[in-house]
Amino acid sequence: MRSKISIIGAGSVGATCAQRIAEKGYADVVLVDIIPGLPQGKALDMMESAPVLGFDSHIVGTNGYEETVGSDVVIVTSGLARKPGMTRDELLLANAKIITEVTRNAVKYSPDGIILVVTNPVDTMTYLVLNASSFPPSRVFGLSGVLDSARLSSFIAAELGVSVADVFTCVIGEHGKNMMIIPRLCTVGSIPITRLLQPEAIDRLVARTVNGGAEIVDLLKTGSAFYAPSAAVAQMAEAVVLDKKQVLPCAVYLQREYGIKDTVISVPVKLGKAGVEEIIELELTAGEKKQLTGSAEAVRELIKTVKPDSKGDGVTR
């Protein structure tokens, strides 16, 4: 029997993720969106590709949550794009309201499921989903390091003219300008890039990774990245559904790991059927620990904007 994955939000990231998952054949997919006809039309189009691509997964589009009942994984991609004149705080509060409603519906129909958050700012939204769901931290995590690591890996492979399969990168912390890249732990064929690239080249690739999403937005003019994000999300979902015990960097709630608590940042974790089955603590230098703490503090400042107060319905952890 195939697993069931529901994707909330049928935009470019959600729809492309649905197609990627369906093609693998290990899960049926429910695509949800509030726009009438949008998820239904995209789901039908995907289903009509099945005979060509040879997959038997079932894809259904819907404007409600009833079809999501009993989902093993719920992927949340819904949210607003920033509009002209809208401040960052206004966007954050608007998406917080949407995500809270989505979370309550996801929990109602899939109380035993796992929630994977994609909506930006993803670290803050993951924290909000965790509180709104009352799920244990192991069952709520966000896209972050997998995407950032993929971007850096692709840049390193192109720079050195090597296969991306030989590149391993270490990107942790906030998904944004305060992300933390550790060059000494980034390797090509087990050789640290600090031995393969000049410091100037490393700095250039790091800066490009930090601005990876913005670079694509600037090129597209309208819209943002979705091919790489959807691939990253699909990899994370697959690690859970197939119980791979795969080590991937994900945005997770920390409870004193790395000396950090009550915030969400990306760190390496082991993903399996139970969700985040282990948080892996890297051995960091004093300088690296200070940088990671600063990255976590940047996320904590955003969280303060949406964190439920003592009279709210959030969960204190």
Residue 58 bears catalytic tag:
no
Q: Which residue has the tokens 């935009």?
A: 11
CB contact at 8 A, 268 and 258: no
Question: For the residues of 55-73, what is the DSSP string, one character each?
Answer: ----EEEESSSGGGTT-SE
In Å, what is the CA distance from 178 to each residue of 171, 198, 269? Answer: 11, 23, 20
Catalytic residue among 175, 180, 197, 230: 175
Residue 3's H or E segment, with its range, is: strand 3-8
Strand, helix or coil for residue 149: helix
Q: Report d(CA 115, CA 258) in Å as an integer.
A: 24
Report d(CA 211, CA 7) in Å as an integer.
27
Say if residues 247 and 282 touch (Cβ distance below 8 Å): no
- Nearest CA to 232 out of 137, 151, 158 is that of 151
Just list the catalytic residues: 175
